[in-house]
């Protein structure tokens, strides 16, 4: 059996277990059972429990950010870019609920490493938004008095809060596309030049 197989299996199992129980209440033996390996096997692939969590972030979030960037780059119009961003964000939360749940819960811990993580990885993500805003401002489409540094967070926060609703509810109470449209719509009218 190849290395990559086990590593992958453990990561996938960990995503499920962390989502269900949270990092601290998750047992290594839970993850081992879910991955169908022995407890000790996990330590052949990861240094410790925390390392599993970090690996989940490293390997899963990176992919997602890259995809989002690519999609946004394909659009010409800044307004359209904003819409695409919103849609992609919510779609990912729906398709990958466990991961979304972990991001919601664990990426907010006060652990130092997590704090660093949030700063670097998340900056990269929300900066996609601020650069769209700047493009729009240059073109004269968006209001110049909007601060991209604040607006990016406002928009991201709005999407993140909708994601939280998904994660807490057994079923999405709103349709993904409607929601993405409504949120980008409010935001776009909010920052549109008059």
Partner DNA sequence: TGCCGCTAAATGAATAAGCATTCATCGCTG
Partner DNA sequence: CAGCGATGAATGCTTATTCATTTAGCGGCA
Chain positions contacting a copy of itself, by CB under 8 A:
19-22, 24-25, 101, 104-105, 108-111, 115, 118-119, 146-147, 149-151, 153-162, 164-165, 168, 174, 179, 182-183, 185-192
Q: How far is the CB of 100 from a copy of itself (least distance, A)?
A: 12
In 10 A of CB 85, how many CB atoms? 24
**Complex with a copy of itself: residue 23 or 45, whichever CB lies closer:** 23
**Complex with a copy of itself: residue 52 or 159, whichever CB lies closer:** 159
Q: How far is the CB of 3 from a copy of itself (least distance, A)?
A: 31
Q: How far is the CB of 35 from a copy of itself (least distance, A)?
A: 20
Q: What is the DSSP letter of 139?
A: T
34: closest CA among 11, 67, 63?
A: 11
Match 């769209």 to its residue by tokens.
Answer: 132
């Amino acid at each position: 059996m190849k290395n990559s197989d086990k590593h992958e299996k453990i990561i996938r199992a960990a995503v499920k277990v962390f989502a269900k129980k949270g990092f601290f209440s998750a047992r290594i033996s839970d993850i081992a059972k879910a991955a169908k390996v022995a407890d000790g096997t996990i330590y052949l692939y990861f240094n410790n429990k925390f390392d599993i969590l970090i690996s989940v972030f490293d390997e899963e979030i990176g992919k997602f950010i890259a995809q989002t960037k690519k999609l946004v780059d394909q659009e010409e119009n800044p307004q359209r870019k904003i819409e695409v961003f919103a849609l992609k964000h919510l779609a990912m939360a729906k398709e990958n609920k466990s991961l979304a749940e972990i991001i919601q819960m664990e990426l907010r811990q006060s652990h130092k490493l997590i704090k660093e993580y949030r700063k670097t990885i998340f900056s990269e993500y929300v900066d996609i938004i601020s650069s769209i805003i700047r493009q729009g401002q240059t073109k004269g489409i968006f209001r110049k008095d909007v601060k991209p540094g604040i607006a990016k967070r406002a928009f991201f926060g709005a999407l993140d809060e909708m994601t939280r609703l998904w994660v807490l509810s057994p079923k999405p109470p709103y349709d993904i596309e409607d929601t993405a449209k409504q949120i980008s719509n409010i935001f776009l009218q909010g920052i549109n030049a008059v």
